Structure 1
């Protein structure tokens, strides 16, 4: 038995896949630990109400950011030649700039209308910064795909530290400088994102060189990968509507303070999720983009298993400890966040398992299946939160278990698609056979 175990350990040490994961984990761990160290301080400097307003602002930004590049940013991974990918990246940046400018004008001029529709008029002055937030986040995402293509996981890991740590430190500095409230949270986030983007541009400066080596034009590449906006774009938008619609419903149906509690619980639960899943997802997508038929199903099944094993202990600890730990660590005003964190455990544990394998649908060009799943996955939590009345913790518990069940079905579907791909069969043939 010991020989078998030693052989397995030796294979793991030689595994390029695991080395890449560990490289990304190093940066992610450092970023998350820095954020965790500063959160107990920030939670005492900023109120749940301030975090509630910040959550609404972030929701608006995130909804537009996911489609700012029309999902062509993901296609940077796909061209056979780097020169084509560089041309595609330039086109992606132009799209991001155009969307950011439009968002600035629309959200700025309509800020009173948007803020009043949310029931939060105090948010209006800050909506002028939406376009800048969209640009920094979307461009960071595009550059990350380029570095992922180049397997420069060290640069990606460093960027995560800069973005997370820079944001937290800037928010702390603004609060100590008597510029707190939602303005401090938004301003600090912009500082952290801008600093991370500038460093990332330097790390990925080769993406701006040698574009003339490509025989492709930006319109030609957009046409080649038109399935990204046509199929993956709607899916990403539906996902954004789900995530940010939940914030909006909680803010309106319950209260701004309760939205702040939910935001804090979700933010801290993303720590184990980000530590494990962020690295797996980046490396998994890079491997899938160049994967030959015959190996996808086994690779996906192994990834599901690894994600479950890596996540089981952290999420069990979260379930039992969060109601006690949140008020002790963050302050008594965050007791509800601890109860919400426990309620969300089933949902986020299954999210850990399914997030890496979701890229199967992109690589196999079966995004229509992912879109069908996304519609159900969006309708269920929004409907439950809107129609259920009473205690928010009980309602979120029901939502969490419902979402976990949907993600189990999603896992089965992803593995099925991987098997069909390995066999060289398309999904239309599968439907006819069924």
Structure 2
């Protein structure tokens, strides 16, 4: 109890902590709304229609992850607002081109395209895919401008409005018997909520729009080339690393093991999805504002952040490690006991992921994404090696998940070492100027 009170006291004293709590609170409230609406929505749409939504969400996530070639992530660290607005326009331009290409591919080779992505079930809804990519990509772009301006209150409101809009759309279209289209439109319309409030401050600054020119677009495209060259591929490699265990577990141990692993992974990852991502976004925004010419201050903030969230993460980590199987049995039923065992194995990986990943954004701040790509490739190889060892030594599923957790933890620790070395080298560079 004293530890929790100490953490709360430290957070309330820090502006950085208050910003994290604001974004996290908005995210938590948005997710709570989704939980409240879900019993109603699931009574309107049958499981097979939810299957269509699951397939659509998977395809959308894959296509939208770097649809603007990751140039939007350079917006918070741009040297000045003129460069930032040109990055925003450049990001929107690439997004529009990618959406157009997707539309053409779906028109000419729709069946083959969806078969390649194992999503033939979307053939009747294929033209909703480019719309989803466009609105998801647009929100991600203007969101980065919001973080550049540190408009945390507006960002928090958009997260809540997205949840409300998405769930109400699904509910209304469900009552109107739209079928799977209602669920998909709920995702698209919900994702578009908040775009206007985030882009309005930009539109009001007419002098910013006048700074956009073909010459400056070429300049920022070249200046921040590391984002499409390394960040975008790194996103896909990291995603592949997250999906590989599922593919190999079902191959080695069957669907039952994957179901248990899926629940364990989703529950243990909740702190990261709820708090960790918010911490990561706020840290990137604040560190970008400090600027790469002050690495000493960024290192100080990073070290304090790691210590604080290591304390916060220690509580769920110890609970899962000691009581995982019992908790899963109590909450989800006795048949989910083994999922609790998996959660014990995964708790190590999730702990390191939670405390280290936010400061990993330092790679983007100092434009060292090449190192990040190499690390993610190494992570993917290590995960594959873990399952090769499993097959060779005839290990059981618990041991396989344990190896996966250990090898992934090693890569997160390696990320921390890499980040600290980069900061030290940047501090030395600045001091030698």
Q: Could you tell me the TM-score, scaled by structure 1's length?
A: 0.79
Q: Within the alignment, does 1:380 sit opposite 2:385 as a pair?
A: no
- Where does the alignment leave 5 or more consecutive residues of structure 2 unmatched? none
Task: After TM superposition, give the deviation of residue 113 of structure 1 in Å.
Answer: 2.9
Alignment coverage as a number of residue pairs: 420
* Greater length-normalized contact order (CA 8 Å, ≥ 6 residues apart): 1
1:286-334 deviation digits (Å, cap 9, x = unpaired): 2222341322332222121122112222344455666566687678998
Q: Within the alignment, does 1:281 sit opposite 2:280 as a pair?
A: yes
1:127-182 deviation digits (Å, cap 9, x = unpaired): 443222222222111111101110101111112222344434544556666666x7
Task: After TM superposition, give the deviation of residue 214 of structure 1 in Å.
Answer: 5.8
Matches of 2:155 and 2:170, distance apart in 1:
23
Matches of 1:169 and 1:330, distance apart in 2:
28
Secondary structure at 2:296 match in 1: coil
2:353 alignment partner in structure 1 = 351
Q: Could you tell me the TM-score, scaled by structure 2's length?
A: 0.79
1:251-296 deviation digits (Å, cap 9, x = unpaired): 7777788767766655554432233222321221122223413223
Q: Within the alignment, does 1:230 sit opposite 2:235 as a pair?
A: no
Asked whether the 8 Å contact 1:326–1:338 carries over to 2, the reply is yes
Task: After TM superposition, give the deviation of residue 90 of structure 1 in Å.
Answer: 1.3
2:189 alignment partner in structure 1 = 191
Asked whether the 8 Å contact 1:92–1:142 carries over to 2, the reply is yes
5 Å matches for 1:276-355?
276-289=275-288, 290-291=290-291, 292-318=294-320, 341=343, 343-355=345-357
Distance of aligned partners of 1:59 and 1:293 in 2 relative to their CA distance in 1, 3 Å threshold: same
1:159-218 deviation digits (Å, cap 9, x = unpaired): 2222344434544556666666x7665443223212343454446544776311467621
Distance of aligned partners of 1:261 and 1:83 in 2 relative to their CA distance in 1, 3 Å threshold: farther
1:272 alignment partner in structure 2 = 271
1:230-270 deviation digits (Å, cap 9, x = unpaired): 23233223223333555666677777887677666555544
The equivalent position to 2:416 in structure 1, one of 392, 411, 414, is 411
Distance of aligned partners of 1:234 and 1:190 in 2 relative to their CA distance in 1, 3 Å threshold: same
Task: After TM superposition, give the deviation of residue 362 of structure 1 in Å.
Answer: 1.4
Task: After TM superposition, give the deviation of residue 12 of structure 1 in Å.
Answer: 6.0
The equivalent position to 2:407 in structure 1, one of 385, 402, 405, is 402
- Where does the alignment leave 5 or more consecutive residues of structure 1 unmatched? 427-434
Asked whether the 8 Å contact 1:41–1:330 carries over to 2, the reply is no
Task: After TM superposition, give the deviation of residue 394 of structure 1 in Å.
Answer: 5.4
Asked whether the 8 Å contact 2:20–2:282 carries over to 1, the reply is yes
Asked whether the 8 Å contact 1:66–1:240 carries over to 2, the reply is no
Distance of aligned partners of 1:378 and 1:418 in 2 relative to their CA distance in 1, 3 Å threshold: same
Task: After TM superposition, give the deviation of residue 413 of structure 1 in Å.
Answer: 1.9
Task: After TM superposition, give the deviation of residue 111 of structure 1 in Å.
Answer: 4.0
2:239 alignment partner in structure 1 = 240
Task: After TM superposition, give the deviation of residue 72 of structure 1 in Å.
Answer: 0.8
Distance of aligned partners of 1:300 and 1:52 in 2 relative to their CA distance in 1, 3 Å threshold: farther
1:210 alignment partner in structure 2 = 208
